[in-house]
A and B are shown apart, each in its own frame.
Chain A
Amino acid sequence: MLPVEPGYKNVIRLQIAIFWVPIAFGAVMVDQLVLRDTPVFGGLSIAAPLIAIIALVTVPARIHARLGYRVFDRLLQSVRGFLFHTDTLVPFVRVQHIDVTRGPFDKMFGTASLIVHTAGTHNSIVTVNGLAPETAEHIRDMMRAHIRSDLD
């Protein structure tokens, strides 16, 4: 199993930040404005930012460690998740079309996502996040060559 780029940890971190920072901010606001006269005042102001910080520090490395991919001769494997662990295999000839996408975070940290579309209703989109752009493009070209030779 090949690990994805280390830079992808930062992408995950930013994604978590986008989710958690507003929540933590909101919780602090609620605490300061609404709960001022109650006995629990102060609890949220400490707990919410603390949880956010812990999540930002520890979670990206854990998620990253569970991500992996492998390219076989005619198959692509994508592995992700711990609590809900999923291991997907897609034969190249089953691929309908392929995207290589780079969001703003990906551009900041030098990663890209390979998105493979199959005809399946379940799992019609299989993604490998956090690849180096060259790797993603290389895999795409490999698949493309394979699909073309299958059509001939």
Chain B
Amino acid sequence: MSEASVAVEETVVAEPALERLHPLYLLTGLAATAKGSLGVFAASAYFGASGNWWLVAAMLGGYFGLSLVGLWVRWIRFGFRVTSDGIGIESGLLTRTQRLIPFDRIQDVSIEQGPLARAFGLARVKLETGASAGGVEDGVLDAIALPRANALRDLVRANRASGTHDVAVALSLKEEAAPAVFAMTSRRVLTAGIFNFSLALFAVLGGLSQTMGEVLGIDPFERRFWRDMLDAGDPIGDFIVAHQMMAGIAGLTALVVLGLVTGVTQTVLREHGFRLDRTETGFRRRRGLLTLTDVVLPLRRVQAAIVSTGPLRSAFGWRSLKLQSLARDETGKGDHVVAPLATGAEVQAVIAELGWPPVDPATRWLSVDRAYIWQFVIALLPLWLAGAALIVVSPAMGGALTGALGLLVAGRYLSWQRYGYALETDRLLVRSGFWRQTMIVLPVRNIQSVDVSENFVGRRFGIASLTLGVAGGGGFGGHGIAALPWPTAYALRDELLSTY
């Protein structure tokens, strides 16, 4: 005992000095604060427009002054130190908080660089432990020099891997030399952007231009819009103006282009330079155009793999691969995207890097009960009735509603056709969906609990559904299999838990 306490005292004496954030935190922090206070700028723009310049000056001056003072106080009271067993963070003006994050408990280290931070060579380091249930990271070091950020990450990784620091150096060297597990060329990112076509935006704009366009004067389906947009004498302009139908086509094209541009912009901003590397303990993902992110995903944290695609994307052979991990992704969605747009072979390659056997394309999928469709039809019952009632009042509206319901049921039928599961030796595969096709690869040892549930409708069909508790992920719906015949559901559950 006495020896141990001596050793402890020695480490206390040898404790490294408190490190501070980079002073430029005042600037990068200001940009971040400004992002959250659009109201102030909107108000000052309003006052500016109405000529109250002194008020604008006072408002902006006061705002930036106060923010700077706040940031300065935070900067001066914030410090961190790397100790032998973890990273200590001290913060707070009135309430001093001293937090120690042991290396062992750090699940994820991510490095993020906003545009401003990149200009200054700074980075934000996020240390995530499993306890971050609320989605709030436990340790954020806001602005530190990039080399120091990388060193910290390597230090954490090395300490977790084996406790020696030499590994980190060897590891990062090896990593640079080895080819990426998966990388995206600019062309691939563009393709991904095109598939990311913003259908929602398309629908919203289409609806808006039909309802509000008249008032705002931006209805691209009207000739007037194009007359104002294009100079008279322009042959295309004249052609569009001359024909109402052409105006409709041009309007549609404009919406499609807008949807495409939105999708491509979003995707390029996020996925530019996507690169996934294999490290000693897991994957490392780098991506982003303006905000670079660098995330390490330890393999032993991976709970399940999710391959998803859509009818159009699958026609071109594209898929995306996400990994469900104990730690959350920076988007807060829970699943880490490790291949946004990849071919089947590339997905298999990433899965192979996980150390998992490949998914056999000739897998024999067991289908679920047809009641999967009927249950859906019954759940829509109130809407069917509403549709029938509407037909009496307004045949067009009622017909549209009934038609839409019919489409939903047709979609449900198609997704039933695709719905299937397969239990392999130590993992469960479930594929489902027609519009959003997913396939889940779930190692059986990652199942935390199994629910068999049935409700009063399904009971008439003799079916129950299986819900599997799996750690991590951000979704409300756990993984599961819907509409299994009652005995099958119980038998499958017993089989899934047969190792216990």
Contact = CB atoms under 8 A, between A and B. Distances in A.
A75 interface: yes
A86 B453 contact: yes
A15 interface: no
A90 interface: yes
A120 B456 contact: no
B220 interface: no
B448 A94 contact: yes
B500 A91 contact: yes
Nearest to B494: A89
A122 B477 contact: yes
Interface in A107-124: 118-124
Nearest to A75: B500
B450 interface: yes
B100 interface: no
Given A90-B448, A90-B449, A93-B500, A120 B455 contact: no
Contacts of B478: 120-123
Contacts of B470: 120-122
B449 A123 contact: yes
Contacts of B326: 119
B497 A120 contact: no
Contacts of A120: 448-449, 468-471, 478
Contact of A88 (B450, B454, B477): B450
Contact of A91 (B452, B454, B456, B497): B497
B337 to A, nearest CB: 18
A92 B500 contact: yes
Residue among B469, B470, B474 having the largest count of chain A Cβ atoms under 10 Å: B469
B451 A88 contact: yes
Contacts of B500: 74-75, 91-93
Interface residues of B, number: 29
Contacts of B471: 118-121
Interface string B419-457: 000000000000000000000000000011111111110
A90 B478 CA distance: 15
A48 interface: no
A123 B455 contact: no
Given A75-B500, A118-B448, A123-B448, A85 B473 contact: no
Contacts of A88: 449-452
A119 B468 CA distance: 12
A91 B468 CA distance: 12
B472 interface: yes
Contacts of A121: 334, 469-475, 478
B469 A124 contact: yes
Contacts of A141: none
B493 interface: yes
B67 interface: no
Nearest to A90: B449
A134 interface: no
Contacts of A85: 453-455, 459
A63 interface: no
A30 B471 CA distance: 48
B467 interface: yes
A99 interface: no
The 4 closest A-B pairs by CB, nearest first: A122-B478, A120-B469, A120-B448, A119-B471
Interface of A: 74-75, 81-94, 118-124, 126
17 contacts: A74-B500, A75-B500, A85-B453, A85-B459, A89-B449, A92-B500, A118-B471, A119-B326, A119-B448, A120-B469, A120-B471, A122-B467, A122-B468, A122-B469, A122-B477, A122-B479, A123-B467
Given A88-B451, A121-B474, 12 more contacts: A84-B453, A84-B455, A88-B450, A91-B449, A91-B497, A92-B500, A94-B447, A94-B449, A120-B470, A122-B467, A122-B476, A123-B469
